Amino acid sequence: SKLYLREPSLLREQCYLNGEWHSADSGETFPVENPATGAVIAYVPRMGVTETRRAIDAANAAWPAWRKLTAKARGGILRAWFNLMLEHQDDLAMILTTEQGKPLNEAKGEIQYAASFIEWFAEEAKRAYGDVIPTVANDRRILVVKEPIGVCAAITPWNFPAAMITRKAGPALAAGCPMIVKPAESTPLTALALGVLAERAGVPAGVFQVITGAPQQIGDELTANPIVRKVSFTGSTRVGAQLMAQCAPTIKKLSLELGGNAPFIVFDDADLDEAVAGAIASKFRNSGQTCVCTNRFYAHSDVYEAFVGKLTEAVAKLRVGLGTEEGVTQGPLINEGAVAKVESHIADALSHGGRIVTGGRRHALGHGFFEPTVIADATPEMKVAREETFGPLASVFRFRSDDEVVHLANNTEFGLAAYFYSRDIGRIWRVAEALEYGMVGINTGLISNEVAPFGGVKQSGLGREGSHYGLDEYLETKYLCMGGV
Ligand code: ADP
């Protein structure tokens, strides 16, 4: 089960700290498994508080020289990193698929998406403009400058092992901040491979570091240490809230990208074929394991049966299998807990009168594999109405009026992504404005790219990633009042 790479040196079993590759002080490691087979791919260091503290000190030491470089000089180094990611995209995708499970072409798409953040912010940091404000007195001038916030930490999830790192490290490094990344336990190998390429691109020692190990211990130090000025986290709302509390005593800046419960509304004037294509993209990408994946489909009663019929036909065409196999569209879920959650949501839906139209069971391939599933006659009493399934389960609810469906869509503590299909321009404006979400897809199921602001409202998080807004998250605003003019 050894994985074949053109360049085997991209696979690392040590952490990248202060420009060097290190094992844990204790020598301890933990295994990284292939979710499609259960086979161990590699062992990575189980680091803790001591190594984290050392990484923070190294980042702090590297900060002055890094911030002193011009944005153009930092951008040049980042561009070299971007080029290396594209050059090695096949190997990076292979590592990603092997530890995460998604189909190889989706993994390659993620590497390109991940690299795009490095490219975008390498360019954008040159435009971190300040301001000159008309004065209130003749002997003074009022100036505003933007400065890098300082040492940053990122704690990232397993569903996008590359992109969730570059979406944070790109703007941090471009702005002049060093960054320490703690990747998810399930997917550290992609993160370490990015470290190899950062080193090769000429990112100075301590500016980009990757530490693997005990989440609690590393997280405690990253949030408590006063040298760290900013923490950026993507993951569950539960852990996000905990990290926010841990950051409170030292008043750290925070970016949080947390859970969602995305609604997808099909109005009676929608193009149903386009709606189904968008539904498949938004629901079944990454086997349903993205925070912007649709969790609740709402179809108008006049088009309900037609939408369910077409959706079922499209779902039946999805192919479940090993991510490395040609033609596969659905890889395994990340682990047994993820599979059990999908099963429990299906059982709960059935007990409340739901109807399985297709799928519904573990896939014959075993491990993390699950049949893509459609449940009709979904109701608000079901778990699927309230909780993020994070798997290949599409539940379809019925509605009759615009007001009713907007109320249902907003009736959640989350507010990340929402989608709807309609051709009526008045309705499009009214619904787009009424949805309490950070991102709204109108007649599309795919909304993520590096030039647009990604993020949520309510309990889905704080701050925005990507776009020029994403750079602000790593900059402080400093006011200079010049007297004696
Ligand atoms: P998921 O449900 O996607 O696994 P989590 O929020 O559990 O989401 O994990 C996201 C990231 O947060 C991972 O890198 C994980 O290791 C990390 N994490 C989990 N618990 C903690 C914690 N107590 N302190 C710091 N990081 C944590």
Measured from the CB, is residue 190 less than 6 Å from ligand 1? no
How many other CB atoms are there within 10 angstroms of residue 224's CB atom?
14
Residue 185 appears among annotated catalytic residues: no
- Per the confidence metrics, is the pTM higher than 0.90? yes
Q: Which of 158, 223, 239 has most ligand 1 atoms within 8 Å of CB, for mutation?
A: 239
Residue nearest to atom 3 of ligand 1 (CA): 235
351-355 LR contacts (CB < 8 Å, sep 24+): 352/379, 352/381, 352/382, 353/377, 353/379, 354/378, 354/379, 354/382, 354/395
- pLDDT, tens digit only, all 485 positions of the chain: 468 899 999 999 999 999 999 999 999 999 999 999 999 999 999 999 999 999 999 999 999 999 999 999 999 999 999 999 999 999 999 999 999 999 999 999 999 999 999 999 999 999 999 999 999 999 999 999 999 999 999 999 999 999 999 999 999 999 999 999 999 999 999 999 999 999 999 999 999 999 999 999 999 999 999 999 999 999 999 999 999 999 999 999 999 999 999 999 999 999 999 999 999 999 999 999 999 999 999 999 999 999 999 999 999 999 999 999 999 999 999 999 999 999 999 999 999 999 999 999 999 999 999 999 999 999 999 999 999 999 999 999 999 999 999 999 999 999 999 999 999 999 999 999 999 999 999 999 999 999 999 999 999 999 999 999 999 999 999 999 999 99
* Most informative mutation of 30, 47, 155 for ligand 1 (most atoms within 8 A of CB): 155
Q: Which of 242, 291, 297, 239 is nearest to 264 (CA)?
A: 297
CA atoms within 13 A on the CB side of 104: 13
463 lines ligand 1 (CB under 6 A): no
Check residue 1 and give its pLDDT: 46
| Angstrom distance (rounded) from CA 342 to CA 363 | 12
Name residue, tokens 């050894």. 2
Q: What is the CA radius of gyration of the chain?
A: 23
Indicate whether residue 186 lines ligand 1 (CB < 6 A): no
The contacts of residue 444 (CB under 8 Å, 6+ apart) are: 278, 419
Q: How far is the CA of 8 from the centre of ligand 1 (A)?
A: 29
Cβ-based neighbour number of residue 25 at 10 Å: 12
Apex 77 CA angle, 111 and 14, nearest 5:
60
Q: Give yes or no for residue 179 CB within 6 A of ligand 1.
A: no
Nearest atom, ligand 1, residue 184 CA: 14
pLDDT at 3: 84
